[in-house]
Structures are given as structure tokens and as C-alpha cells.
Amino acid sequence: MTACGAGTENSADPGAGASSPAFEVAKDVALTGSPTFDKIKSSGTIRIGVKEDQPGLGFLDAATGVRSGFDVEIANWMAASLGVPANKIEFKPIPSANRESALANGDVDLYVGTYSITDKRKKLVDFAGPYFITGQGLLVQKSNDTIKSEKDLDGKKVCSATGSTPFQNIVDNFPKADPVSFDIYSKCVDQLKTGSVDAVTTDQAILLGYASQDPDNLKVVGEPFTVEKYGIGLPLGDTALRTFLNKTLTDGNATWTKIFDSTLGKSGTKVEQPKVDQY
């Protein structure tokens, strides 16, 4: 891969997807006091936990082996800022419920996959970011005219991923709904298509990806009813790494915009990069 400027189109790396930005791989990165970075440096590779069934965010095309989406590009960008080229990234699919343990066990160095920053999770992992803000929404069959918002969930089978904030929200705050959970959201979408569940709930950004893949059969209804701030998960206590990645995000507004425009923003939506939270 040639060292193009950040955001240059048409990466030569087959893993990066046809129109995704290429990122300038940093040289001589000075990052002291980060056990995670020390590990990355000595192995020459970075292991990044991702989703691979969330179109537009974290998606693996099984036929071509190409990963695509906003989160995948954020992951590529973070790796490049740490001096790791795209061909030295090992992506690992980790479902929502296993993210904290994967980071704590050292199975992954970073996690970039629709991972909401919460106080509960902050006891187990650290987060850089936020790098994106969305909110919980609802996906239903196109023909459904009874579920128009979160107020219509009484007696309805509502599917979400185990260990996710939207699932917990249904359990805690929608006592008359009937929660159903699977490890990954695509299984909920399959259940929705066969009519085994009435709705899928998770972040609206994720649901819009499923709806756009099958607009004849699926639709997103209502307005977002929570605030989900996406962070880059990293091992608890690695403050040097968190500070470094926050700086990459803060200094890289132009790169963030390129990534957004080439993924979630393809339909023309304009969104500003959120401000990093230096907690």
C-alpha cells in the first residue's frame, strides 16, 4: 500500500473496500506507558474486535472477504495512527455480550463496533471518543401499521442483542413488552422477516442499514428514544492509549468527515463529528 494522504480515495488494499479512504500510516509513534501499545509494537499487529453483520457500520461480505462500514474505517484509521498498516490488522468478530471480556482477557487490543459508552461498562473497559452519536430505534415489517413508536410495544415480541443497551432498556423500562434476544442483530432481523418477532430494536444507525438492504420488506419507525454515544473500547486503565486515540479523533476532523461521507453519509446525510470526552 502506498502512503497516501489521509482520506485519499481508492486504497490499493483489498481489505479496505473499493471507495473507502486510505489512511496515512504514522511512523515512529511515540506512546509511552501503554501496555496495549507495547504489545502491538512487539507483535507488529493489532487485533480489533468488530461486528460483521451490521451493514454500513461493521460488515463482512462473505463472498469477497471485504469488510466495510463506518466502524471498520474508524478501526483502520486508529490502527494507522498507531503505526499499523491495514494488512497488519486482525479483525475479530465479537458479539455485544462479549466485548468487555474480550478486552479484559487481551483477546483484542481495541473494539470498534457500535459500542455505547456507559458508566457500567466504564468499570470494566475504557473508551476513547465518542466518535458517533445515535439512539435506540425500531425496525418492523414494511406492512406493520400497529407499531409506530416505542409507545406501541405492549404485548409485542421485541428482539435485540444479548448484552446490549437497547435490550436492557426494553427489560428495564418496557415491562409489558416481550423481550427476545440473540447474540447478533442479523438473527433478530431474520426472525422479523419470518414474523417470529414483531420488532427489532437497537441503535437507529444499525437499523437503517438493515432497512436499506431490504426496503421492500423492512422499515424504521418512530424517533430515537435513547442517546447512544459510540466509543472505541480499550483495556481498562490504559490511559496513555485512550489519550492518544482521543487526540487522533480530535485532530482528525477532516478524516472523520471523509469516513462518514464514504459510509453512513453516502445517502447525503450530513452529521458533525461529536466532541471527544476527556474523562
- Tell me which residues touch ligand GLU (CB under 6 A): 96, 113-116, 161, 164-166, 202-203, 228
Nearest distance from C-beta of residue 177 to ligand GLU, angstroms: 17
Residue whose CB is less far from ligand GLU, 129 or 235: 129
Residue whose CB is less far from ligand GLU, 84 or 264: 264
Residue whose CB is less far from ligand GLU, 52 or 198: 52
Residue whose CB is less far from ligand GLU, 53 or 198: 53
By CB atoms closer than 10 A (0-12, 13-18, 19+), residue 236 is middle
Nearest distance from C-beta of residue 97 to ligand GLU, angstroms: 9
The dihedral region occupied by 114, where left means phi > 0, alpha psi between -120 and 50, and beta the remainder, is: left
Report the alpha-carbon distance of residue 167 to residue 160 in Å, rounded: 5
Nearest distance from C-beta of residue 217 to ligand GLU, angstroms: 22
Report the alpha-carbon distance of residue 33 to residue 168 in Å, rounded: 36
Residue whose CB is less far from ligand GLU, 84 or 232: 232
Report the alpha-carbon distance of residue 112 to residue 72 in Å, rounded: 7
Report the alpha-carbon distance of residue 85 to residue 91 in Å, rounded: 13
Residue whose CB is less far from ligand GLU, 77 or 115: 115
Residue whose CB is less far from ligand GLU, 96 or 273: 96
Nearest distance from C-beta of residue 254 to ligand GLU, angstroms: 26
Half-sphere exposure of residue 151: CA atoms within 13 angstroms, side-chain side: 3
In angstroms, how far apart are the furthest CA atoms of the chain?
58
- Secondary structure of residue 89 in the 3-state scheme: strand
Nearest distance from C-beta of residue 54 to ligand GLU, angstroms: 8
Q: Are strands 228-235 and 67-68 parallel, antiparallel or unpaired?
A: unpaired
Phi, psi at 270, each rounded to 5°: -115, 130
Nearest distance from C-beta of residue 180 to ligand GLU, angstroms: 15
Residue whose CB is less far from ligand GLU, 141 or 168: 168
Nearest to 159 by CA among 151, 148, 167: 167
Nearest distance from C-beta of residue 57 to ligand GLU, angstroms: 9
Ranges of beta strands (E only) in the chain are: 46-50, 53-54, 58-60, 67-68, 89-93, 110-111, 125-134, 136-141, 157-161, 178-182, 199-203, 218-221, 228-235
Nearest distance from C-beta of residue 207 to ligand GLU, angstroms: 10
**CA 72 to each of CA 14, 38, 186: distance values in angstroms, whole numbers, following the listed order:** 13, 23, 17
